[in-house]
Chains A and B, each alone.
Chain A
Amino acid sequence: MIRNQLLICAGGACITSGEKSVKDALVEELARNGIQDEVQIIETGCMGACDLGPIVVVYPEGTFYQKVNVQNAGLIVSEHLVKGRTVPELLYHGPTSEKKAQTSEEIPFYTRQVKRVLRNCGVIDPLSIEEYIARDGYFGLGKALEMGPDEIIKTVQDSGLRGRGGAGFPTGIKWKATKDATGSPKYVVCNGDEGDPGAFMDRSVLEGDPHSVIEAMVIAGFAVGAATGYVYVRAEYPLAIERLDYALKKAREYGFLGKNILNSGFDFDIEIRIGAGAFVCGEETALLRSIEGKRGIPSLKPPFPAQAGLWGKPTLINNVETYANIAPILINGADWFRSVGTSKSPGTKVFALVGKVQNTGLVEVPMGTTLRELVFDIGGGIRDGKKFKGAQTGGPSGGVITADYLDMPIDFDTVKEIGTIMGSGGLVILDEDNCMVDVAKFYLEFIVDESCGKCTPCREGTRQMYRIMERICDGKGRGGDVEKLKSLGKVIQLTSLCGLGQTAPNPVLSTIRFFEDEYRAHIEDKKCPAHVCKHLLTYSINPDKCVGCTACARQCPVQAIGGQVKKVHVIDQATCIKCGACYEVCRFDAILKE
């Protein structure tokens, strides 16, 4: 008889924080206390609060234990499970609240979220198809088979669901176009090539609730008339591949894949295709070439994949998060889906909240939520009491949302108006210590590496932009550089073939739009206001604070620091290579960085 269940978050971040050894410690401690048959341990997908990991939730109470480690995991067994006492030192304690939170419902990070896509992540065992079924899994498929293709597509259209991969194209229109296209066989593809650095929504869905994607693909196959599906997953996500592979086997065993699904006469099966590390493969036409086993080179649209996709046949391609929305829409109806979100962007959006925010992790909120709610209410504000500077959305294809727009409701259209894109949901929070020129340069370097090389404006143009950015950060910026960046950017946007090239200049153009004075400071004053760009810094020693401990002089790799023991030290500016080693090592705050 099971009296307690321990749910351990086995999402990527918690595994990194030592989830496996915590689990082993719990198993050992349960056995030591002789209650291994009364307490069940279940590893779930990502619970979202990545910063608090490893996380263990004890049911039936729902007690939420965070930052559990090998040393204190035993307390959950010996105190909570044996003696019925909660372990106060493992409870969450917010930065502002007086009281410790007992359950996740008392933690602001969770209370503001609306979990639809992540409905099962962190709640069920991703390896258990039965638990997925218990949470209404595959009932959407059952209903779809009764509805028939036309009604399914109408429901998806009525729901107003827009593609969650970034561009926000209406999903129902894609489905209808693929169904109406002539040509056979047809294919259904899931884009799980989440290449945007700083984003891990799709990874968490594939790891935490793989059946939600499988079920939706079967529904899609039935709706558009396809018999084969492909899930394209990044090679960087081995755990997602493993769990998806297992889930596919189970789905076949239960008859949700294969011949004559649920006695409907409909046949469908899914194959996994593993990426091989090329960002451009997130672009749909490039992805299709990659599934075909070729170089991932994008092609001109039209023809759209709905007309000529995989091997030239009509192909429906949607992103992981888009698929995860499908089954609930069919079960609950289009109006239910529209009950949250904005009128033009209904539903929820999953964001990977990362960067300089207190509570990093995975959050799902209604479309139209403001950045202020995301950063300050859910995210708990900026780390170390620093000032919010901006939020980068859409990765290398996006731009920044600044403090002026903290109260703007975020949806597909509002972010576009201020020069960025929703993207797949990476939300990187930047504070006053981040240099916007440096951040833009970082994205540009990424694009230079990842451009497939097909179009000259993207291949050569981004490289030239990068050179200009590099010299600006090196203190060699020239008058007119900002204008050059703008005009080059415009040309690349207008003349590249695919989405990667067309959006590649966005991070630079967006930061110029909102932080032009920072560019000017780099170019004209040769200063980096955020003290990031190495070549624009000067290190010196504050004689009032230096105690002559010699720590900096011993650390300096080029012997640029001189001075006697217990006497004030001095940095020789001509020798200094600005590595910052002295700044890191000084315990008296005596090194000045300007």
Chain B
Amino acid sequence: MLRPKVKPVLAYLVLIVPSSLIILGFLWLLITSFSTRVEGLQSLGWTLNNWRFLWESPFGPQYPSIWAVTLNTLVMSLIMTLIVVVVSSLTGYALSRMKFPGRKGFLSLTLILHAFPSVTLLIPIYFVLLQIAKIPLIGRDVPLLGGFGYNTIGGVALVMVAFQLPFGIWIMKGFFDNISWDMERSALIDGASRFKVWWQIIMPNIKPGIAALSIFSFLTAWNAYLIPLTFTAGRAGKSAVLSLYLQNFISESVMTEWNAVAAVGLFQLVPVVLFFLFTQEALLNIYGGGKKGGV
């Protein structure tokens, strides 16, 4: 057995040594984005050239500017977050509070869905989105979103919602499990509908859960790469998001400007780091708590 004094020191070492790799890596990224070349953490020449995408479009005027792309990313992340929260809380409520045949099976199923590799499903999902695009009104040409079909922000958001649902449903069910059902019961006896009870009585009581799931979903959506890459045509099209804009700088035919890639990457990272800093307190409510908890 280790002596009591040694243990905390050992614990801190386990935390600090790997943490130093992250610090080193991100320092390198920052220095690289402001340099022409680097050696280790040493810049071999400072420049602002890597950041010029901020004020001029690097691929020509016919492509959307970084700001249009940022707006797309924001819209997509917000839509995805909104749908994840609403759908997960509807389903989580039913799983936590209602009796129906197939309930246990459904809950296990939501977890098993997570075992379906996204890579497997990408090609068939492409065909599904092509079909959705044919539906009038919601398929395409919706302002801001584009719609919910192929090559639209809404469509990409919808696919990401599906992949986020297993997590969302389990988290929300945990929150509903922890609310006493007395309030709800009296409302039901008074003749309120299940939907009214859900919306007016239960939802206001799980605000911390809603906030936490929203933050987590938003961060996931902002950074999404594979799904937007697969389901939007043309990396610099009108539905491009930041992770695809970044992809434009990486080319197999011409020399990739890795320093510019670092700059665009940091541009994508900074807003969400700030967002995370200010919302971490709320995110830490993501575990519904209780003796057994829902998660």
A and B, one complex?
no
- B residues apposed to A, CB below 8 Å: none
Interface, chain A (partner B; CB < 8 A): none
